[in-house]
Structures are given as structure tokens and as C-alpha cells.
Structure 1
Amino acid sequence: MGSEFTWSNKQGSEIRTWARLDRVLVKPAWLTIFPASYALSMPPGPSDHYPLMVSLAPASPIKRRFSFLNAWKDHPNYQGLIQTAWNTPCYGTPIGQLEDCQKELQADLFSPLLIEKEKHLSNQYVKLCMTEVDILFQKAKVNNINKGDCSKHAIRRHQSTIGMINDKDGITGYGIANVNEAFVDYYTSLLGRKINVAPISDIVFSSGPGVSDEAGVKLIAPVTREEIRRALFSISPNKSPGRMGFLLVFSRKTGIL
């Protein structure tokens, strides 16, 4: 049931090609168990293949009833909103519009008008899908960042605590008091004594790699706005959001830093 063809090259009416590539195969035993089953080719949407759906029995259409909420009538702009909504054309969802157009196309497979309409609606739907993917990606990334930061803080708190230590005599001490005492004793003995150190020869500096005068001037020069822009624009646009919550893609599109 449905479309006679299951694939098209999605090209213009002059070179549009239709073919029956995809099929549903069943065994005789299947038909014995499910005698009322059938295969239905669904509208392809933005794909070039028509998906095939196997139904075990004819499905009864479900009609959803519209319910009016009586409290709406008390809204101060009730009459105006109803009038505006009633006179506004309703074309359905983007995927619904595309599928309706593809159903019409089955009656006239090479209609230039319907083929161009299908291409326009398909491109529009794909763009909306990509926008949805970007939104979901950003939500997932922010969620992972927030949860990841909480985990990192917990790990850091756990790792930053030293519960036991061996002192200079090899005796193990437990608790923060013993740990602090061992650290103080160690660094007192290490830093509290004098060690004769030979001065560094100027030959070491002169013979090794150095910084030119021009490079030295650049190193101490103030950071410019252009350098900040280049650094930010060299990072992936989907990197973690800053303090204001904006990803780098916002700055790339608007030029606002």
C-alpha cells in the first residue's frame, strides 16, 4: 500500500527518476499467523528512500478531540486573540507539510510545481532539524559541564585531603595534626640549611637559544583586541560557554566579544 515506488533521485522534473528498490519479504508461515498484515510505504520526508512499515492489521484512525478551556474566555484580549487565530492560515508542521506534498506528488510524479515545492519544504525541514540538533547539543554539553564540574570538585576535595604520612624517622602519623607537623619538619630541615651553589655563568645564557629584541618587544606589548579575537575564533565554536552563557558561535556570527 502507499506509493508505487520506494526511491527517487530527488532531482528536478526533467531528470527525476523513480524506482521500486525496497521491498518487504515474508514467509508463508507469516501470512498464516498474520493474514491481515500488509506493508505500507510511508512518505520519505527529506530522504530519497520511502520507509516501509509492516502493520499486522488495519489500524483504526485515532481522532483527537479539541478541548476548549472555559477559563480562556476571561482573558482580557480573548476576542482579539480568537479573531486573529481564526483568520490565520494553518499549514501544519514542517514535516506534515512535506509529507502532504509528497502524497500529492504520487498522483503526478513529474509535476514541476510539486517537485519544486517538495525540494523547498525538504530543505526547510532539514534546516530546522539541524537547528534542533544544535539546541540539543548545547543543552547536553551544558548539562554535562555542570555535572562534570560537580564531580571534579568532589574528586578534588577527596584527593586534596591527606589522612596519613610517614615523617623523617619513618614513623606513620595519622590525622591532620600529625600531617601538618610532618610537613613543617620536612621543609624546615630542607629550607633552613645553607647549601653552597655555584653562580650561573653568563656563557650559559649567551650560548643557548635567546629571544630577539623584536620578539622581546612583542612579549611585553599590551594584549590587543585583535589578538583576543584571533585566539577566540581559533577555538571550536561549541566550546564551553563563558560567564554570560554564550558559546563562541555567538561571537563568530555577531562579532561581539
Structure 2
Amino acid sequence: MEQISTIDMRSMGFNSDWNFAFVASKGASGGILVAWDTVLSLWSFVPFREVFFLGRIKSDARPMFRSLIGGDFNEVLDSRDRLGGQRITVGMRTFADFIAINELADLPLGGSSFTWARGSNRSRLDRFLLSGDWLAAISEVYQQALPHSVSDHCPILLSPKMESWGTPPFRFELAWLENPLLEAQLVRWWSECVFTGPSDVVIGKKLRFIKGKLKAWAKEQKEIALGRKRILEDRLMEIHLLADSGSASAEDLEQQGRFIQEHKELRRNRIESLEVEGVVVSDRERIIEETIAFYRSLYSADGIVRPIPQDICFSSLSLEAFAGLEIPFSEEEIRIALFSLAQDKAPGPDGFCLAFFQTCWETVKSDLVRFFLEFFEGALLDKGTGATFLVLIPKVDGASKVSDFCPISLVGSLYKVLAKVLADRI
């Protein structure tokens, strides 16, 4: 489009409270529309080629420029921003240097990993970059990739508001075990807490006790890690300068690649918005309501008559195999099942991955064996042992509808081991 009018904006759902700025397209490239709510903020937009510069020129103490730059930069920041991208280019390094020198922040992108698509090519070319003063003024801000329309670039929503979905659940990080001192701490914490009751309840209480200890420990380690990261970032900048001058060694470049892989940007694992009947909704309660309604309808089977299989002969167990099912569980049987499971299987409500139990096997094995013996003797499982997280996993990149997600169940670590032992025996 060569121009956008107020009438066009109204037709897209923007009322009179919204102002906008527009840069017309040039042939097949360019063309940007930015809209903002004038009731919530007073911003001045200056369109320049394919990027918008935004600044707020108001401060209680003194004039201060809070800057925001957004648009199609026609460059990616690192190899993860391009589908199948591997190597680091000069353009990527220049873009990263520009962000660092101007003290801008690149926010995580929700909704999709990429903002541009053409054929099988995917890249994140569009983004918002914010200054530190801007972030200090509005601490909670995020950018969201919305569904594509007629353009090969998707719209980007920048919002200073974010629905609270509650405190994130605890998760035992596999990387913590790289600390050589942690294993001894875990053994000491497990041994010093003594509880009574059914074995699964006791194990649950011990895990909650260790969870509290780990939160305090992780906070201390994070402060130490931040100091180390700053040193590495300074070293990375030196390597960038050496690479630009052509004097970087193979060891320097290897260190650079290792740093980028180890410090990948964490993305928010939550659904910020959903497309419902062609309209994008971001209200938390509406998202929950639509999700529940969709799966309730999907898994309902009212009035369906299912066929009953007849005249089917199933193979039966021999007397020897049948007797083997009733043998009490052994310590070795439990150990083999536990160590055959992946260390990093997604944790359930207890927050502990199986790497914790494998690392501390010699310490926790007596409690696990007691749990299996009680289960064999007919003890009922505590409701907390069988508690489950239902998680929606995107089936496609840029998932925007409920049907684009697949529900999976995340059970607790104790239940995982029990299910594996039973499966192996059968």
C-alpha cells in the first residue's frame, strides 16, 4: 500500500484513541505500520526508511530520551534467528555490536521463532530494541509475533502489560549438576531431614525440603554466574574486533561459537495470545476459557456407539511368567529401570528430573525400595504422587490457534519410575 488513512485504521479495529505512523512500501519491499494508544502514553514517532525510531521526551527531573527502535532490520542477530542457520556472519557481528554500543535490549519474541517467511526460508528480521531507561520506566514489556496476513513479514505486538499466570513452578536444572559441590549438598540435605508416614508421602516431603534449599543455593550461584558472564562477554567483544581485522585465531573463533551456544536466549514458554474465529485475543481468562472449551469438545463422545471386538483370541501368560509378576520388587530391578530413563525428561509437579535420583542413587535408594515394597503390599498412592501437569506443546512453528497445540501429561518423578518398573516387568 502507498498510504494508510484514518478510515483504514478504523476498519482494522483501531478507535479514535489510537494514533499511527506509516512508511509506504517501495516495490516489493518496505512498508511499516505502527499504532499506539494515546490514552496510555505520549510518544513521538519518526519514520526513517524501514525502521521506526520512537522516543519519550518527558521526565520529572530533567529532559531524558527513552528510545525504542523497531522494524525490519534485514539482518539476524545470531544463527538461531535463521532456520537452519549455522555460521556467524559479519553482518550479524555488526548488528550485535550496534546493539551493545547503544546499550539496547533485544527482548525475547513470543508467538514464533521467526518473523519473515518466503517459501522454505524463515528468519527473524523484525524486532523492537529498547534502551535501558525505557525498560526501567516499564519493567514488564514483551514483543509478540502475530499471525501472517498478506505480507511475508508478520506483525509484531509490543506491549507493556503482561497477564500474570502465577509463580512459575520449581524446576531442577540439569546444569546444576555440573557444579562439583552440589552432589555432596544434596546428599547432606536428604539425610538431615527425617519424616514419618507412608513412603511416598515421606519422599514428597523430602523433595519439598530440598526444593527450598535449592532455591536459596541457585540464587547464590546465579549472582556468581552473572559475574563470569560479564567477563566472557568482554572477551567475546575482543574476539569480534579481532575477527573484523582478520587476526582472530581458530581458538578464538571456537571460543566465540561455544559462548553463543551456552548462552542461548531463554524464551517465555507460555501462550501470550490465541486466534479465535479470526480475532487475536490476549486476555488470560479468555485464553483459558477457549482452551478448555476446545478440548472438552474434542474429547467428548456423547451418543457414539463404539464396536465391541468379538471372537478375538489373545495370547496368555505361562504359569512361570504369571508367577514372575507377583515377585516383590528388588533393588536391582528398580535401579535398572531408573537408569534406563532419560535424565532430562520434563519434570512434573514435584519439579525434579530423573537426573537427581540417578545422581543421588546411593542416598535415595532405601526410600525408593521402601516405596516399592509398600506399593507391592497393596498400599494406596498418595494423591500428590499421581499429580499431573497438563502442558500444551506447539505442533507447528508460530502456533496461534488452540488446534495448533498438542496436550501432554507431565507426571512426577516417583510415578515415572513406578510406571517404568511395571512396564519392564510386563
Aligning the two structures, in what range does the TM-score lie when normalised by the shorter sequence?
0.3 to 0.5
Higher helix fraction: Structure 1 or Structure 2?
A: 1
Larger strand fraction of residues: 2
TM-score for both structures, normalised by structure 1: 0.33
